[in-house]
Amino acid sequence: AIAPAVGVPPSLLPRHRGPDPYFWAIDAGDETTGVTAHRLEEAYDTGPILAKRTLRIDPRWDAWKLARALDRPSLALLREVVGAYAAGRPPPAVPQDEAGATAAPRPSEEDLAVHWSWPAAHIERRVRAAAPWPGVWTEIGEEVVVLVRVRATQDFPRVLAPGEAALRADGVAVVRAGEDAVELLEGRADEDDAPLDADDFARIVVRARG
């Protein structure tokens, strides 16, 4: 009834179709993402493509920073495409390649749980993908914490098994992963959302190790 309607999701369709492409682009380790103008159809993010703009993903960005970086390009592309329709020169509509389609659903509780069998680089990406909210969660001893900033490192006690935490000589809390380890730098307490810094994580690890 409202055709031709145009949408501009913050992803390079058909990759990352769905409501949370920021999370999945960072988690997948994509080097670039962007925005796509497409004609709306009944199924989510499936309509023919009208135009795209690409953006390099800064490896330091979390999901919020990526969303901010894509905001203006999205609006600019929408104005450009709608202007072309208004001028009677609609851009050609190119069907999406279904072979390249991936889903980008809202992350589930399981998606937001840290698996310490993963390589540290993957854990770091997953934390950035969910930061600053909702964050990913894990248990240290008997305490549930939310992680919002970690860093992969090769500086850790080699006696640790995946999932074991320790305090390095410099006072930084580290957790062994399936490959390398991660430094715990920022997070929140699960019970009351109180912020946690590196010193707080160090104290939590000390308590957990007795």
Mean pLDDT of 5-34: 97
Tell me: pLDDT of 202 over 90: yes
Q: What is the mean pLDDT of residues 19-40?
A: 97
User: What is the C-alpha end-to-end distance of the chain, expressed in Å?
Assistant: 66
CB atoms within 10 A of CB 11: 25
Going by DSSP bridges, is the β-strand pair 143-153/136-140 parallel, antiparallel, or unpaired? antiparallel
Q: Using the predicted structure, report yes or no on whether residue 114 has a pLDDT greater than 90.
A: yes
User: What CA–CA distance (Å, rounded) separates 55 from 76?
Assistant: 14
Which amino acid, one-letter code, is at 83? G
Task: Provide the whole-model pTM.
Answer: 0.94
Residue 52 pLDDT greater than 70, yes or no: yes
Please choose, from the candidates 7, 32, 6, 20, the residue with its C-alpha nearest in 3D space to the C-alpha of residue 102.
20
pLDDT of 4 strictly over 90: no
